[in-house]
Amino acid sequence: MYSRPTFFVALMVAVMPLGSAVAQTDIQAACTLIARSDTGETLVEEGNCDSRATPASTFKLPLAVIGFDTRALTSSETPSVDFDPDKHVAWIDTWKATATPRTWLRDSVVWYSWEVTRPLGLEGIAPYLERFKYGNQDMSGTAGEDNGITHAWLSSSLSISPREQIAFLSKLMMRSLPVKVASQELAIETTASYGFGEDQTVKGKTGSGFARDADGTVMRDRQIGWFVGWTNDWPKGDNVPEDTPLVFARLIRDDGPTEGYASIRARDSLLADLPRYLGTAN
């Protein structure tokens, strides 16, 4: 049976719903950033959008592009990998099932990420992050533990700011990442969809992790939560091409212990706010 390291036990506690004795802090975004993917024009900017944080499961978006580009992933449904309790972690019940690229992105299946990263190795992934200019590009992992291939994006060495998330997403929307166009289109198609407003849709990825203090120590009572993605359902002017997605990033930084996933709070609060931001609220 797989033995969970202390880090993962702590992460599981941090992201699963906690008891009523834990105070709920206000859901106030550290950053909300919305921009046009074609011109880079910023439409909404609130908070500090230049400070980096762990990408957590939002890293699955560049990893999906890498996976499709290297043929580690071949379609939204393949490879299909059966859950193995002796090999795979399962912090939540939805992970105890056969996973595909689509369910991996939808359900944030950590063990499926490892099915992609381990065969590629650091030497296969690091050059992509450099070409993507993805955050600090640091895949080294936890100091002294040689675990970058499985841990770098999980409250460890890899970090990215909301503005850098927007830059990556804009290139993905414009199919201008330095990889095959088909790889980008497969990653876009495979990403989960969510509804907002009146019959409007976004595609995006959540991520939950921990903040770090000034000396790099993980603060397990301070969650961070991401929701990043794109939408083509916004009121465009006459001179804006119809297929011009907006890209967005919302980052929550909790200032104390909280209930539930910070990522879900980031997602649900942004979906509620989007009609107001986009001027489509009734």
Phi first, then psi, for residue 257 (nearest 5°) are: -60, 140
Give the model's pLDDT for residue 3. Answer: 39
Other CB atoms within 10 A of residue 130 CB:
12
Provide the percentage of residues in the chain whose pLDDT is more than 70.
89
* Cα-based angle 272, 277, 278 (whole degrees, multiple of 5): 105
Phi, psi at 43, each rounded to 5°: -100, -35
- For the chain, the distance separating the N- and C-terminal CA atoms, rounded to the nearest angstrom, is 53
Burial class (CB in 10 A: 0-12, 13-18, 19+), 86: exposed
Buried b (16+ CB within 10 A) or exposed e, 227-263: bbbbbbbbeeeeeeeeeebbbbbbbbbbeebbebbbb
Token pair 């296969």 in the structure block, residue? 124
Sort strands 29-36 and 246-253 into parallel, antiparallel or unpaired.
Answer: antiparallel
- Answer whether residue 20 is part of any domain: no
Q: State the total domains in the chain.
A: 1
> How far is residue 265's CA from residue 260's CA, in Å, rounded to a whole number?
8
The answer to whether residues 95 and 103 touch, using CB atoms and an 8 Å cutoff, is no
Assign 280 a pLDDT band (cuts: 50, 70, 90): confident
Q: Residue 67: its pLDDT value, please?
A: 99
Residue 138 pLDDT: 98
Residue for token digits 């090999």?
87
Two tokens, residue 161: 């700011």
What are the b/e assignments for 134-154, b being 16+ CB within 10 Å? bbebebbbbeeeebbbbbbbb
Domain assignment present for 22: no
Q: What is the CATH number of the domain that holds 92?
A: 3.40.710.10
Residue 12 domain-assigned (yes or no): no
Residue 213 lies in a domain: yes
Which phi and psi (to 5°) does residue 17 adopt?
-55, 135
- The pTM score is 0.89
pLDDT, position 124: 98
The Cα–Cα gap between 116 and 259 comes to: 31
Tokens of 209: 């992790």
Q: Which residues are catalytic?
A: 57
Does 247 map to a domain?
Answer: yes
- Does residue 123 register a pLDDT over 70? yes
Q: What tokens were used for 121? A: 């190795």
pLDDT at 27: 59
- Residue 166 forms part of a structural domain: yes
Question: What is the pLDDT averaged over residues 25-31?
Answer: 71
Q: What is the pLDDT of residues 211-267, one digit of tens each?
A: 888 777 888 889 999 999 999 999 998 888 888 999 999 999 999 988 889 999 999
Give the number of other Cβ atoms within 10 Å of residue 72's Cβ.
Answer: 18
Report the C-alpha gap between 192 and 203 in whole angstroms.
6
Provide the domain limits for residue 87: 31-278
83 token code pair: 């859950």
137 dihedral zone (left: phi>0; alpha: psi -120 to 50; beta) = left
Q: Is 70 domain-assigned?
A: yes
